[in-house]
Amino acid sequence: MSTAKHPVLAMILKGYPRISETFISNEIRLLEQRGVKIHIISMRKPREDFTHKSISEIKAEVSYLPSSIEGCLEGLFGSTDMNAGLKDPRYGQDSEFTDRIDKIWKVYKDTGSEASFKHMLQAEFIVQKVLPGSEIFHFHAHFAHSPCSVARNVSRLSGLPFSFTAHAKDIYTQKPEKVTAKISEAKFAVTCTGYNCNYLESIAPAGKPIHKVYHGIDLNLFSSDKEFTSGAPYEIFTVARFTPKKGLPTVFKALKKLDDRGIDFSYKIVGDGDDRESTLAILDELGIADKCTWLGTKTHEEVLELYRKADLFAIGCEIAENGDRDGIPNVLAESMAMSVPVVATTVSGIPELVEHGKTGLLVEPRDHESMADAMEKMLTDQEFRKSVIPAAKERVHEIFDNRYWINKLADVYEIYGIKAGR
């Protein structure tokens, strides 16, 4: 499979488009503007029935993989028989095909894992159905778990190189040795915080490069000149998925403390997730549901309007029992750029962006009393707000401009021969 005159970078994603992964769509859009030709390979179709407007600017071809073993077998061999590949007329007659099928079965026999088998079949689907005529010469996966597994497998089957970007859950909910093995086979790895970079370097084979590239945000989109001062009733705001690592119970308990202190506020939360009902039930248990509104999932444009009205952004990030944690939630940078002060926690890479006492306030995870104190100070201390808000905005412009970081990422790609088409 030779390198083409106009080489194509294949991006393997878990789903596309996804409303919560704007950092990936922004990366693709900006790489295209720089001249990189991209082919998106998505492991499943979108779950939401709407997208951000920026998706319409992406020109990349999109290929969707079968999302089940049965779908892969049917798509590849016209049968859902687990042994369909071995019964295919090409098996034993075409040496390249035979070699790939043997590799697929070896992985299944060695691991006994249906997920591993599916990821191998998805890789074979790419080899048979996506690669021919595509001019793809390199695979890059977003997330170090299943998308990276597919990228590694297609590399093994096709001989083409792969790389990956590691984010958060995908790093810390896998056994370290599994991540190490992927790093060892990848041409290079990228991650989105210094915290992640330090960890990955500690488990990477000697000499394997790990590149830190922040996501960044669109500072043309997230921009505001709103007043720095605030007054009751205060508007408190959160954007987060309903998942343990977001620490929403800590935020809710802090809101209860504010209510007990007689502070007049209303609270809005945007997002969704598997734990939504059980998490929102905490508001009823605390007796503050009448002050709180869940708004569901919203587009960028709708969220921008909520930022414009907010006096404070709060999130209680923590390390979940399974090791899951955030990197640097983009919503913190968005809030800071929109002149909305933030109260967050010291988890993971958050202190790389939010400097306690200077560009926001940080508390220890699960410490709702300290969070309530921080919220109260940020809402009511007008002189403090006047110092924090412009400093936070400056901080975001200094280290979180996505155009700067996309150029850095493109520079990383070019080191490994991934260049804009000529």
Can you spell out the DSSP letters for 263-317? --EEEEEE---TTHHHHHHHHHHHT-GGGEEE-----HHHHHHHHHH-SEEE---
pLDDT, tens only, 357-415? 999 999 999 999 999 999 999 999 999 999 999 999 999 999 999 999 988 998 998 89
CA distance 405 to 129: 33
**Is residue 341 located within the same domain as residue 408?**
no
Write phi, then psi, for 156 (nearest 5 degrees): -65, -35
Clarify whether residues 46 and 144 are in a common domain: yes
B/e letters for 370-408, b = 16+ CB within 10 Å, e = fewer, are bbbbbbbebbeeeebbeebbebbbebbeeebbbeebbeb
Q: Which pLDDT band, with edges at 50, 70 and 90, does 26 fall under?
A: confident
Same domain, residue pair 326 and 210? no
**Is the confidence at residue 21, as pLDDT, over 80?**
no
154, part of any domain: yes
200 and 259, same structural domain?
A: no
Whole domain around residue 363: which residue ranges? 234-399
* Angle ∠(180,183,187) on CA atoms, nearest 5: 165
| Per-residue confidence (pLDDT) for residue 20, from 0 to 100 | 64
Same domain? 275 vs 389: yes
Q: Tens digits of per-residue pLDDT, 255-303?
A: 999 999 999 999 999 999 999 999 999 999 999 999 999 999 998 889 9
Q: Whole-angstrom Cα distance, residue 396 to residue 330?
A: 11
The residue type at 77: F
Own/partner pairs for 171-177, CB < 8 Å, 24+ apart?
Answer: 171/144, 171/196, 171/199, 171/200, 172/319, 172/323, 172/324, 172/325, 173/145, 173/322, 173/323, 173/324, 174/144, 174/145, 176/203
Both 346 and 406 in one domain: the answer is no
Cα–Cα dist 241/42, whole Å: 21
Q: What is the pLDDT of residue 34?
A: 86
At 306 the pLDDT is 97
Parallel/antiparallel/unpaired status of strands 61-64 and 136-142: unpaired
Residues 212, 347 within the same domain: no
Please tell me the predicted confidence (pLDDT) of residue 356: 98
Claim to verify: residue 385 and residue 410 sit in the same structural domain: no
When divided into structural domains, the chain yields a total of 2
| Claim to verify: residue 65 and residue 107 sit in the same structural domain | yes
In a domain, 225, yes or no: no
Which residue type does 59 have?
A: K
Distances from the Cα of 208 to the Cαs of 197, 277, 285, in angstroms?
12, 43, 50
pLDDT reported for residue 51: 65
pLDDT for residue 4 is more than 50? no
Residue 9's beta-bridge partner residues?
Answer: 38, 138
- What rounded mean pLDDT belongs to the chain? 93
CATH number of the domain within which 408 lies = 3.40.50.2000
Q: Is the pLDDT of residue 48 over 80?
A: no
What pLDDT shows up at residue 2? 42
Residue 363 domain-assigned?
A: yes
C-beta of residue 60 within 8 angstroms of C-beta of residue 29: no
Supply the pLDDT for residue 290.
97
Q: For residue 331, is it within any domain?
A: yes
In a domain, 65, yes or no: yes
Neighbours of 109 (CB within 10 A): 9
pLDDT confidence of residue 5: 53
Banded pLDDT at 421 (limits 50, 70, 90):
low
Q: Compute the distance between CA of residue 72 and CA of residue 63 in angstroms, rounded to an integer.
A: 14
| Average pLDDT, integer, range 206-214 | 93
Q: Would you tell me the crossing angle of helices 95-111 and 146-158 to the nearest 10 degrees?
A: 140
Residues 135 and 244 in one domain: no
Q: Which of 58, 102, 59, 203 is nearest to 144 (CA)?
A: 203
Q: Is residue 229 part of a domain?
A: no
If asked whether residues 175 and 324 sit together in one domain, one would say no
Is 420 contained in some domain? no
R_g of the chain, CA atoms, integer Å: 23
Q: Which tokens hold the place of 321?
A: 């029992």
Same domain, 247 and 209: no
Does residue 68 sit within a domain?
A: yes
